[in-house]
Amino acid sequence: MIGIDPGLAATGVAVLEYDRSGACRALYIGTIHPPRRLHSAEKLRHLCHEIQAVIQAHKPACLAVEETFYHKNVKSALALGQARGAALLAAAECGLEVIELSPKTVKLAAVGTGAAAKEQVAAMITVLLRLPEQPASQDACDAAAVALAALHRRALPEGVSR
């Protein structure tokens, strides 16, 4: 499962899987930073290509991303939507299924409450994935939380509410 926390300046990416014991483990956690000098269209191409490179390296079956939500700042919402579109394009071009999750669902999976603060998500991701240290960026932590929530959702038996 690849989880994405999209942004034009920084996009978090995490690839998680269940190991043989049934524990969730991280194969990759990182952040994509398109060069600042690039124009928006070039940043989007960069994001798409970098996400595709992670997909090619780790061969996940599915890409997970948070559903669109509303921002008070229209400019921020537009940039988020564009970066999200680059992630969706990368998934489509690689033939991956896409799972969209609400921010509340992601926080609930990582922390146990849909109203968790970003710091709580980061701390729990570090514990749940048994990482030696917290990921370097909040974007990477958020991407891991998205992947974790999607893994849990896919693991539910048929007929159980998703």
Q: Exactly one of 5, 42, 100, 119 is catalytic; name it.
A: 5
Sheet holding 24-32, edge to edge: 24-32, 11-18, 2-5, 62-66, 97-101
Q: Exactly one of 50, 97, 139, 142 is catalytic; name it.
A: 139
Q: Exactly one of 17, 19, 50, 66 is catalytic; name it.
A: 66
19 is catalytic: no
142 is catalytic: no
| Residue 150 CB contacts under 8 Å (≥ 6 apart), including other chains | 1, 3, 62, 64, 99, 101
Catalytic residues: 5, 66, 139
